[in-house]
Structure 1
Amino acid sequence: MNLQDMTIMGFSNLWHTRLRSTLTILGVVIGIGALTSMVSFGTGMQKNLTDAFTKNDLFTSMNVTPKDLNVDEMMSGDLSGIGKMLDEKPKPLTDSILEAIREMEGVQLAFPDESFAGKLQFNDNEVSKNMQPIPAAASAFYPYNDLLAGELYPHDSSQSVVIKWETLRDLGLIVEYPDLDYTLSRKDSLKGTRIVSPDSVIGRKITLITAELNIPSNPLGILMGDDFDPFEETSREYTICGITRPRDEFTFDRSRSALVIPPVTARKIPRLSFSSVWDILGEGKEEGTYSSIYVRVAEMEVLTPVREKIEAMGVGVFALADELDEIKRAFLIMDSLLGAIGTIALIIAALGIINTMLMSILERTREIGVMKAVGGSENEIKFIFFVEAACIGLVGAVFGLLLGWVVTRIANQVMNTMVLPDNQGPVDLFYFPLWLILGAIGFSVVVSLAAGLYPAIRAARIDPVRALRHD
């Protein structure tokens, strides 16, 4: 027999036992469906997180601090190490350091990463929020190059501001956008919340109220009962020039603030600010220094050289890219655990393949004897059974992938409808990369061949004389 004859015979034997073969293939379908759907959830989470980090420039950015903030040491619980780190005298982040960083090759953007507290008044509502100065040069980068409406202010001394979508919601306005799926509740109606278009917000004035310490000119007056307020509030109006897009579950909030304001304009606002952990830990910030500096580089490949140059200045640097290997390792562990659970179903399916093929041997004992009597070799007999096993694995893998895809589509729809917030657009929580598809097919075929190994060997060793006497 040639290769084509043996292959056709293998497929023909499965067709003659259609019901039993279908039930066996169904077991493989369920196993592959469970395996791929579970692993696709892990790969989907990894893809969403990695894409979000890349989109938000987290792999091409770093934060410069006065001290070397060793996250691993702080998380270890080693009090002596933490104490030693806090005792180190920080190097002030001055304008000269900031300018030196900006002049480094590969640096696209560098600015003080600070914020201050205040109150926002708009639409007859008031909320307490944090504000952050961001330079106009950030308009070339996410998220300020992809605003929901408007654009970032043109220069650093502008009297315009960019407000977050979530801040407007807190102020009683739900700003429309294409994927918005929000229904006003009774609570919203009582609060006066309205759904509005972005154009109705752009160009309107918003009031920013900040406070500073009020030092009395006559301290003795306080002891004599004079009215005294330790804080003095300042109110200023700014024009809304842009609205950020709503933040989803996989978007990193880089600014951490409700309002983005030009840095030169922000310096003129009297305020109290405790924007740094170093201020809270007791080492007050000197005039003309910064608590932290944000640095963005052109690409991930130049991050390490730039980091080394900055560290040589005697300051601390933290970059999320340093944790990339740990993130990948964590997802690998998660994918392995999910894959192991799905593999259990495939192993059970493999037992079904063994049972099906052993039954096939009993029914075809005389047929096997005839093939050996006319010159069929043991290897040819084995090959026929291997073809049957491989066919079961291949067909089961294809339909298993289809089942896994359908299940993940349904699960994804349920998650987007019932779990994720109303203001968030649809998120694809599952992902089928090419390696998963090809790997599932290959794994199914290999497991099926392994399951068919024992039946194939047993069939090849049948004595043709006894087989011909078998009824």
Structure 2
Amino acid sequence: MNVSDLFRFAFQSLTQHKLRSALTLLGVILGAFLVIITISIGQGVQEVIPRLMRGNDRLRQIELYQTWGRDNSDVPEEPVPGEMSDERRARLKEAKKQRAANSGEVTRVHNDERLAEFAAIEHVESVVPTISYGGELWLGDKSAHASFRSTTTDDRSFPRALVAGRPIASNGAAEVLIHELLAYDLGFQDEADVAKLLGATVRIEETIGGFHLGSSLEYSSDGKLKLTADEKRKLDDVIRSLPVVAEQLNLPDDLQQLLKKAFTTPAESPPNLMLKPKLISTGNLIVVGIYRSSTEEEHQNLYEYFGHHDNVMLPVDVARAFFRQTPNFEKQGYHHVVIRVDEERHVRSVVEHLRSQKYSFHSLVEIVEHLQRQYGLMLWSMTALGTVALLISALGITNTMLMSVLERTREIGIMKAVGARDGQIQAIFLTEGVFVGLVGAAVALVSAWGASKFANSWIQQIVAKEANQLVVDDQLFLFPWWLVVGIFVVTLAVTLTAAWLPARRAARIPPVIALRHD
């Protein structure tokens, strides 16, 4: 009895009871299909997530933020006097420590020295601060409030966002990019006039200190009051002159003394910027580009969004020189720092170094790894359900074949009477299991492949609608070679195991008893 004979007997046996065999085969197909489809999409998602990030080169970036407050372990314990229980005293001590820790002070200032330490970390390619600040932008005798942010030549979003001009030439160039709304506020209202702003000389100034009475009045008027920068400075001058004119106002003596006390700075104290404000400036800058805000579609897409909150973009070195003149720089340093690592595979070591130093940071690598773990857990859970379904189908195979043995007992007796050995009888029933396993795995594999094409297109359409074509070009279902081979191996193992008991029982039936069976 050769292999072809075994498969012929198996096929004839299965086709004798078509409905029963079809239901048994369907159980195997469904179980294998679920296993294939879950592993396939799991592999696809595991590769799509980092591939999307790599396309934007953000996996190599680590973003650091200021560290506010202190660790509770660094806060000295304060006494809590008063008559109370030990439990309440312990609670109050802990609350005092927490209040001191959350004091609102920057405990780790990211200044230039700190940035040099970051740059010295192994595999760090560059360290660039992101600076956001405000001031008054002057174009001749015209001025408008400017909220600026630093940018670099590596920023790939601005070539797409520019409506006129070009990006900055270098990180230290005396150049500036202006939002089209700020250009409109400066008087360049007609679209044809926007290009005329290119090449113009502007400067950004900021008065550090002062009373900002004019700004407060503007804010309280809900935009109805508009004051120029010069008018605001004059109002502050009026406030500072109050101690001098107090006597002319016939104010009571106690109020005059209060004004003198409030407006007098002790000789040993640092300069009072409220009384003696400091003017800082970027110096002259050349307008080289006009940019727009991101569109609604770009705003929804993580990789197309380039922001629109700031109306001026300065080269990072120009912004740093301006920011260093502010009191905030000495107290707080840079609020945001971007570390770029030379290769993705080295990001983890840099992240672990920063974590050991207790820095506050954000890395897409950790987000990607977290997502992969979450998806992996979910998909392996689904795979486990598919495996359970496959095992349940194995019980159906065992039951079907046991019934087949019972129905074919006389046939088994005849085969033994004409010389069939126990091993050959057992091989016939095992071949039925092999046949069911091979057909089930093949049909499940083809069905999963066809379903994946439809599902991939459907998912891409949904994502394209909701996330502006974020993953349209990516294949979410993957069928690696080991999955194709593995599903045949697993399915055959399950069906052979299920067929073993009936095959063994069939082989052990004595010929005499089998021939007597009706």
Do they superpose with TM above 0.5?
yes
By how many angstroms is 1:290 displaced? 0.7
Q: Summarize deviations over 1:382-411 as a string: whole Å, max 9, x none.
A: 332222112212211121122223233333
1:298 aligns with 2:336: no
Q: Match of 2:129?
A: 112
Q: Match of 1:430?
A: 476
Structure ID, larger Rg: 2
Select the residue among 316, 323, 333 that pairs with 1:263.
316
- Structure 1, unmatched stretches of 5+, are 71-77, 119-128, 169-201, 274-282
What SS does the aligned partner of 1:52 have? helix
- The whole-number CA distance in structure 2 between the counterparts of 1:447 and 1:81 is 62
Mapping 1:171-250, distance limit 5 Å: 239-240=289-290
1:154 aligns with 2:198: no
What SS does the aligned partner of 2:108 have? coil
Select the residue among 394, 405, 417 that pairs with 1:350.
394
Contact 1:36–1:401 (8 Å) recurs in 2: yes
Q: Match of 2:441?
A: 397
1:362 aligns with 2:406: yes
Letter in 2 for 1:37: I
Contact 1:56–1:254 (8 Å) recurs in 2: no
When the two structures are aligned, how many residues end up with a matched partner?
406
Q: Match of 2:107?
A: 90
Q: Match of 1:414?
A: 458
What SS does the aligned partner of 1:294 have? strand
Letter in 2 for 1:458: R
- The whole-number CA distance in structure 2 between the counterparts of 1:81 and 1:56 is 43
By how many angstroms is 1:417 displaced? 3.3
Cα gap change, 1:379/1:80 in structure 2, threshold over 3 Å: closer, same or farther?
A: farther
What SS does the aligned partner of 1:290 have? coil
Letter in 2 for 1:453: W
- Structure 2, unmatched stretches of 5+, are 71-93, 136-145, 182-193, 233-280
What SS does the aligned partner of 1:93 have? coil
Q: Match of 1:179?
A: none
Of 320-329 and 378-387, more deviation after overlay is shown by 320-329
Cα gap change, 1:445/1:20 in structure 2, threshold over 3 Å: closer, same or farther?
A: same
Q: Match of 1:454?
A: 501
By how many angstroms is 1:43 displaced? 3.7
CA RMSD of aligned residues (A): 5.5
Cα gap change, 1:154/1:466 in structure 2, threshold over 3 Å: closer, same or farther?
A: farther
Q: Match of 1:27?
A: 27
What SS does the aligned partner of 1:431 have? coil
- The whole-number CA distance in structure 2 between the counterparts of 1:134 and 1:440 is 52
What SS does the aligned partner of 2:465 have? coil
What SS does the aligned partner of 2:340 have? strand
- The whole-number CA distance in structure 2 between the counterparts of 1:441 and 1:84 is 64
Q: Match of 1:338?
A: 382
Cα gap change, 1:293/1:352 in structure 2, threshold over 3 Å: closer, same or farther?
A: same
Contact 1:101–1:110 (8 Å) recurs in 2: yes
Q: Match of 1:63?
A: 63
Cα gap change, 1:337/1:219 in structure 2, threshold over 3 Å: closer, same or farther?
A: closer
Mapping 1:365-384, distance limit 5 Å: 365-384=409-428
Cα gap change, 1:291/1:218 in structure 2, threshold over 3 Å: closer, same or farther?
A: closer
Select the residue among 88, 101, 110 that pairs with 2:118.
101
Q: Percent identity?
A: 27
Q: Name the structure with the higher helix share.
A: 2
- The whole-number CA distance in structure 2 between the counterparts of 1:318 and 1:462 is 70
Q: Summarize deviations over 1:8-41 as a string: whole Å, max 9, x none.
A: 5435544666665444323322332233334434
Q: Summarize deviations over 1:162-219 as a string: whole Å, max 9, x none.
A: 99xxx99xxxxxxxxxxxxxxxxxxxxxxxxxxxxxxxxx9898999x9977976896
Letter in 1 for 2:476: F
Cα gap change, 1:456/1:83 in structure 2, threshold over 3 Å: closer, same or farther?
A: farther
